[in-house]
Amino acid sequence: MVSIKSQEEIEIMAEGGKILAGVMAELEKKIRPGIATKELNEFAEELIFKSGGKPSFKGYGGFPAALCTSINEEIVHAVPSERTLKDGDIVSLDLGLEYKGFHTDMARSLAAGKAGKEVLELIKATKEALSVGIREVRPATLSAT
């Protein structure tokens, strides 16, 4: 069922989204060869709590972390671990934040260190595909049935 949000709720969600985007920007600065995905998770969780939010994913369905970290061809939603990033790896970060009772969620794919041309082209193509999809989104008409 779709829940129509009030203007106040939309503003809270937008505030939460801005906080989450800031957390993600700080996480992106940490991406480098040698960092363990567990370290990224700990940093993300620390930033979320400092911002007044809570990690949306931690504890959901038993998920043990705040951040999902997938390396290269791994399927999304991998659990952070002691595994470290290597030069040229693609790491996908998926992060959710609960703020004042509302959840925001975002994901980014980034290259660690020096990435090859193919990796950079893949990341660029996926960003462009997302942009095209966002441009095509239109409000739906809800009908009471």
Q: What is the pLDDT of residues 21-53, one digit of tens each?
A: 999 999 999 999 999 999 999 999 999 999 999
Q: Does 98 map to a domain? A: yes
Query: Is residue 72 in some structural domain?
Result: yes
pLDDT digits (tens, 9 = 90+) for 44-89: 999 999 999 999 999 999 999 999 999 999 888 899 999 999 999 9
Domain presence at residue 120:
yes
Contact 106, 124 (CB under 8 A): no
What is the domain count for the chain?
1
Contact 92, 108 (CB under 8 A): yes
Cα of 48 vs its chain's centroid, Å: 12
The CATH number of whichever domain residue 59 belongs to comes to 3.90.230.10
pLDDT at residue 12 is higher than 90 = yes
Q: What is the 3-state secondary structure (H, E, C) of 66-120?
A: CEEEEECCCCCCCCCCCCECCCCCEEEEEEEEEECCEEEEEEEEEECCCCCHHHH
